[in-house]
Chain A
Amino acid sequence: MTAVETGIANAVVKPNAGEVSDPAYLKIRNVIYQSSGIYYPDEKLYLLASRCARRMRVLKANTPAEYLEHLTVREKRDEELRLLLNEITIGETYMFRSTAQLEALRNVIFPQMLEAKSARGFKRLHMWSAGCSTGEEPYTLAMFLLEESTKLLAGCTFDILATDLNDNSLEVAKAGIFGEYALHNTTEQLRKKYFKPHDDKRLQVRDQLKSLIRFDRVNLLDDGKMTALKGMDLIFCCNVLIYFDLSSKRKVIEHFYSNLLPGGYLFLGHAESLYKVDDRFRLVHFPKVIAYWKPPADCAGRGKP
């Protein structure tokens, strides 16, 4: 899936509460949550309603209840769910989207990991952007790492693996040419440092940034390839699992668990949950963001019944 090139997708007018009071929206919310793990709290139902509204126009469905039928009983319901999820995740990728994630890395996770790694004598960090789409996430990470490389991460080496199933997305990612939407949250200083002009509207990433990232095509359900990936400190998998059914989700999470080193973290999309998918990862709260943590062997059972 590709990000839209404008910010229009996010400009949703908050309607009166009456407009989302239709109980069908609560059912649609449950359908989405149970299938994808994406959750809309009561106060954000208006966002869900606006996402549905676009699909309803296409389908000429007049009421939320009628649209619910498209999602649950009609023949093409799986297809429709996928299209709705596409609507929901539109505009989800741009550089520096999740600053809370980066703050968690800077303030907690990296210091914690470096302490553990220093004890063992070498400081190398392996990161994986699983489902990197057109590359915004791995390039953001690469900039963040380079910026920290003289400070927090002095003396460390690091690399980023960026994978996707979609060849077209990977080609865009490798080319590293981005427009205003992808860069709207990137400071002028970082743009100058890590990008060069491409044409009058777009910028291209410099090789210094690219050289940190290895792009590869990986199907997350490919057991052979997934088993071969080991020793990760961090995995980022944003809005990818939402398209998988429960058993596939479990399989991928199982792989992620063994891909990660003990003490490693898995980050999902900001509204995604692993509830009932996995009970080995531990949910950890950071300021304004949550992550799933693989506990080191010595405290694996702590706190869980």
Chain B
Amino acid sequence: MNMLEKILPKIEALDAMPTIPVIIQPLVSLLRCPSEQVDLEKVVEMVAYDSTLTAQCLRMANSPLFGRRNTETVRSAVLALGLKRVEGILLGCCLNRMIPPDKWVLDALTFWRHSLGCALVSSRMARLIRYPDPEKAYLAGLLHDLGILVNTLTCTEDFRKCIQAAREKQVELHGSEQEHLGFTHCQSGKILAERWHFSADVTEVIEFHHNVAAAPSTPALVSLVHLSDLLCRLRDLGYGYYEAASVDLAGDEAWNILADHCPALANIDLARLTMDIDGAMDEIVAAVDAVFTPQQVAAP
């Protein structure tokens, strides 16, 4: 735990970083209200305060991934995307603004392609297996690797070594982190998630997505994101440090855990889901490139 204690002060300092616009805190609180209490006009107004956020919401809403075209107003973009996706974009913006372009260890586009891919696969799979909250699955998928950004910010050079070692030895990143840092992105991500008051279930996904069986209260959500993460990495949406050579999803422990909660999983057409992901691949790449290109993020 030594290393983790060492970065704790740094993570705490992230809270106070001036690059987080003042408007974001109230907007986050607003978005996290129970959906029937959210004042939509207030959300639209606050998104419109921030030009980057506005641009990113519009681009995302106009992406074929969300089936919308010609969305021109912030209001229709927020409606098209839904509150959870707006929250995801908001947090993505915050995180991007915190990391200077030259500090990225994993390329920013690679990171967000994987995150957005995982978000989309999680929500599609959630709908297919009738998981009760597909929007939550989207957000959890988008943020599951939060710790990678924390590590990038707080221990850049050591983290760079972890990635290099993982790439060279073809091992998974969390194993390499454990060896070189003494903690993983799951642990550091959890700390930031708690500081930023992420909901308990999303925090649990961040902490346990590589150790599904240990998830204490939302094992189904954790398993769902874990499986989506695996699928994405096998469909060319990984980080390049480790791509499991083959995966028998139905033989993964996460599959059994999820099947206990969502019996519809037994009848899922996995081949078709995979083809859906393949089909959406170009659009995912295009959407991320449009939304998260470094120039867009560097100038808030």
- Known A287-B236, A303-B256; contact A41-B280, beta-carbon cutoff 8 A: yes
**Whole-angstrom distance between the Cβ of A36 and the nearest chain B Cβ:** 13
Question: Is there an interface contact between B259 and A305, defined as CB atoms closer than 8 Å?
Answer: yes
Question: Is there an interface contact between A44 and B236, defined as CB atoms closer than 8 Å?
Answer: no
Residues facing B in A251-270 (CB within 8 A) are none
- Known A303-B255, A304-B250; contact A290-B271, beta-carbon cutoff 8 A: yes
- Known A274-B271, A303-B252; contact A108-B246, beta-carbon cutoff 8 A: yes
Kindly identify which residue among B231, B280, B282 contacts A285, using a CB–CB cutoff of 8 Å.
Answer: B231
Interface status of B18 (Cβ within 8 A of chain A):
no
- Contact string, B230-251, partner A, CB cutoff 8 A, digits 1/0? 1100111000000101111111
The number of A-B residue pairs with CB atoms under 8 Å apart is 84
B-chain residues with CB within 8 Å of residue A271 when the two chains form the complex: 275
Interface status of B283 (Cβ within 8 A of chain A):
yes
Question: Is there an interface contact between A293 and B248, defined as CB atoms closer than 8 Å?
Answer: yes
- Contact string, B210-244, partner A, CB cutoff 8 A, digits 1/0? 00000000000000000000110011100000010
Question: Is there an interface contact between B272 and A283, defined as CB atoms closer than 8 Å?
Answer: no
Question: Is there an interface contact between B271 and A286, defined as CB atoms closer than 8 Å?
Answer: no
Interface status of B266 (Cβ within 8 A of chain A):
yes
CA separation between A284 and B247, bound complex, in Å? 6
Interface status of B132 (Cβ within 8 A of chain A):
no
B-chain residues with CB within 8 Å of residue A43 when the two chains form the complex: 64, 279-280, 282-283
Residues facing A in B247-267 (CB within 8 A) are 247-252, 255-256, 259, 266
Question: Is there an interface contact between A283 and B250, defined as CB atoms closer than 8 Å?
Answer: yes
Who on chain A is nearest to B256 by CB?
A303
A-chain residues with CB within 8 Å of residue B246 when the two chains form the complex: 104, 108-109, 284-286
Residues facing B in A141-179 (CB within 8 A) are none
Kindly identify which residue among A42, A272, A275, A293 contacts B279, using a CB–CB cutoff of 8 Å.
Answer: A42
**Whole-angstrom distance between the Cβ of A106 and the nearest chain B Cβ:** 10
Q: Which of A41, A275, A293 has the most B CB atoms < 10 Å from its CB?
A: A41
Who on chain A is nearest to B251 by CB?
A303
Kindly identify which residue among B235, B245, B271 contacts A108, using a CB–CB cutoff of 8 Å.
Answer: B245
CA separation between A287 and B300, bound complex, in Å? 37
Question: Is there an interface contact between B64 and A17, defined as CB atoms closer than 8 Å?
Answer: yes
Interface status of A282 (Cβ within 8 A of chain B):
yes
- Known A17-B64, A43-B279, A288-B235; contact A273-B248, beta-carbon cutoff 8 A: no
**Whole-angstrom distance between the Cβ of A280 and the nearest chain B Cβ:** 12
Interface status of A107 (Cβ within 8 A of chain B):
yes
- Known A284-B246, A290-B271; contact A42-B276, beta-carbon cutoff 8 A: yes
Interface status of B269 (Cβ within 8 A of chain A):
yes
Who on chain A is nearest to B282 by CB?
A43
CA separation between A108 and B250, bound complex, in Å? 18
B-chain residues with CB within 8 Å of residue A201 when the two chains form the complex: none
Interface status of A40 (Cβ within 8 A of chain B):
yes
CA separation between A40 and B234, bound complex, in Å? 20
Question: Is there an interface contact between A40 and B279, defined as CB atoms closer than 8 Å?
Answer: yes
Question: Is there an interface contact between B234 and A283, defined as CB atoms closer than 8 Å?
Answer: no
CA separation between A290 and B249, bound complex, in Å? 11
Interface status of A302 (Cβ within 8 A of chain B):
yes
Question: Is there an interface contact between B275 and A41, defined as CB atoms closer than 8 Å?
Answer: yes
- Known A108-B245, A287-B236; contact A273-B276, beta-carbon cutoff 8 A: no
Question: Is there an interface contact between A288 and B275, defined as CB atoms closer than 8 Å?
Answer: no
CA separation between A302 and B252, bound complex, in Å? 9
CA separation between A285 and B230, bound complex, in Å? 9
Interface status of B69 (Cβ within 8 A of chain A):
yes
Interface status of A39 (Cβ within 8 A of chain B):
yes
Kindly identify which residue among A275, A284, A305 contacts B248, using a CB–CB cutoff of 8 Å.
Answer: A284
CA separation between A44 and B64, bound complex, in Å? 12
A-chain residues with CB within 8 Å of residue B274 when the two chains form the complex: 285, 290
Interface status of B15 (Cβ within 8 A of chain A):
no
CA separation between A302 and B282, bound complex, in Å? 34
CA separation between A271 and B278, bound complex, in Å? 10
Interface status of B8 (Cβ within 8 A of chain A):
no
CA separation between A107 and B259, bound complex, in Å? 30
B-chain residues with CB within 8 Å of residue A302 when the two chains form the complex: 251
27 contacts between A and B (CB under 8 A): A33-B272, A39-B271, A40-B279, A41-B275, A43-B279, A43-B280, A43-B283, A108-B245, A273-B269, A273-B271, A273-B272, A275-B269, A275-B270, A275-B271, A282-B248, A285-B230, A285-B248, A285-B249, A285-B274, A286-B245, A287-B234, A287-B235, A288-B234, A288-B236, A299-B251, A303-B256, A305-B259
8 tightest Cβ-Cβ pairs between the two chains A and B: A41-B279, A273-B271, A303-B251, A303-B250, A275-B269, A43-B279, A108-B245, A41-B276
Q: A41-B275, A282-B251, A283-B250 are in contact. List 5 more A-B contacts (CB 8 A).
A: A41-B276, A41-B280, A43-B280, A283-B248, A285-B234
